Amino acid sequence: MISHQDIIDAFHFRHACKAFDPARRISDSDFELVLEAARLSPSSFGYEPWRAVVIQNPALRERLLPMTWGAQKQLPTASHYVAILARRDGLLPEGEHVQHMLRDVLKFPPERTALRSKTYQKFLEHDFRLLDCDRALFDWASRQAYIALGNMMTVAAMMGVDSCPIEGFEQERAEAVLVEAGIMTRAHWGLAVMVAFGYRVQPQPTKIRRPMAEVVQWVE
């Protein structure tokens, strides 16, 4: 059993690492565990509307650098660099991805699929109003991707591996690079967030967070 202190230590260890030691590489087994943490992450309705692309090709990283202003040090030095894509299509109840999840992954029988589809349609139309604008479903899928992102960084920290989430990029230009590389099509995917992993070369700055009283409200 992991102790409370081990968990707290991992959260204190994790910070947005700005530059990594390019001579140090994360072991295959450690990084597989980081990816497994992503795979096992929860998602709304269990639809997992995202995928992770591990970008190890130096030329592709170089092509991403000009439009990724938030990773000018991380992209060239990270042991592993991941682009997390979120779905732009297939997320309606009758959509190809949703039907694949229900049929092939969750293996729901027809009657349960019908009930789930009815509940999901209400969620999309009325509860969260995700059909009101074209971007809403992609943004919802991106929120699921961020759950996986958080779990990846936490598991990495528990193994002493540093990370940095990257939102500092020009989305359209970065997507164009990934499209040209044959990694994604804009009809199906969008770039939600990126994250770099490796080992720090600079001391960690002091972690500063709001006090618990500002973060949590108890209602009893």
* Average pLDDT over every residue of 30-57: 98
Residue 162 has pLDDT above 90, yes or no: yes
pLDDT at residue 1 above 90? Answer: no
20 or 1, higher pLDDT = 20
Q: What is the pLDDT of residue 10?
A: 96
What's the token pair of residue 95? 């959509």
Residue 30 pLDDT grade (very low, low, confident, very high; cuts 50, 70, 90): very high
Closest CA to 21 of 151, 117, 186, 160: 160
pLDDT at site 74? 98
Whether residue 150 contacts residue 158, with contact meaning beta carbons closer than 8 Å, is answered with no
pTM here is 0.96
The answer to whether 183 and 54 have CB atoms below 8 angstroms apart is no
CATH architecture type of domain 13-92+134-200: 3-Layer(aba) Sandwich (3.40)
Cα 112 to Cα 175: distance, rounded to the nearest angstrom: 37
Q: What is the mean pLDDT of residues 41-58?
A: 98
pLDDT of 184 strictly over 90: yes
Q: How far is CA 118 from the centre of its chain?
A: 28
For residue 152, count other CB atoms closer than 10 A to its CB: 27
Condensed to tens digits (0 to 9), the pLDDT of residues 61-112 reads: 999 999 999 999 999 999 999 999 999 999 999 999 999 999 999 999 999 9
> What mean pLDDT is predicted for residues 212-220?
97
For the chain, what is the mean pLDDT? 97
Assign 209 a pLDDT band (cuts: 50, 70, 90).
very high
pLDDT for position 139: 98
Mean pLDDT score, 21-40: 98
- Residue-wise DSSP of 42-97: --GGG---EEEEE---HHHHHHHGGG-GGGTTHHHH-SEEEEEEEESSS-STTSHH
Joined together, the tokens standing for residue 83 give: 């682009």
Provide the residue ranges of all domains of the chain, joining segments of one domain with +.
13-92+134-200
